[in-house]
Amino acid sequence: MTPEEFLERYETGEKDFTQADLSQLDLRQFDLSDVDLAGANLSQANLSGMALGSTNLSRANLSQANLQAANLSGCILTGANLNQANLQEADLSWANLMGANLSQANLLQANLNMAIIIRARLRGATMPDGSVSK
């Protein structure tokens, strides 16, 4: 999907972008709260500083995405691919990360309070305290 196509659909009030290809887009100008992005391709997308708390990102591909300082509190990220994503200073409190791939993700200073991380893959991830997960 081109940025123009996304903008056109978004501006008409569309909230269902399941399976959409939004890779490499800078989406910071959009309010994606309450948007359904389940299974969407957001690899290398720029979502830094965004409020995504009510967004459904289950099974989404967020590999190498920039989510620095994003508010993902309560976000549904079950089975999401966050491999090599930048989550530095992100708020992941109460987020559901069950089965998510966080391998080599940057979680430095991220808030993981009450996050569900059951069966999540963390190999090589930089943890909030600066340690690297093995």
Q: What percent of the chain has pLDDT over 70?
A: 100
CA atoms of 8 and 3, how far apart (whole Å): 9
Domain boundaries, the chain: 33-134
pLDDT digits (tens, 9 = 90+) for 116-126: 999 999 999 99
Q: What is the pTM of this model?
A: 0.93
pLDDT digits (tens, 9 = 90+) for 24-67: 999 988 888 888 999 999 999 999 999 998 799 999 999 999 99
Superfamily of domain 33-134: E3 ubiquitin-protein ligase SopA (2.160.20.80)
CA atoms of 4 and 100, how far apart (whole Å): 30
pLDDT classification of 19: cutoffs 50, 70, 90: very high
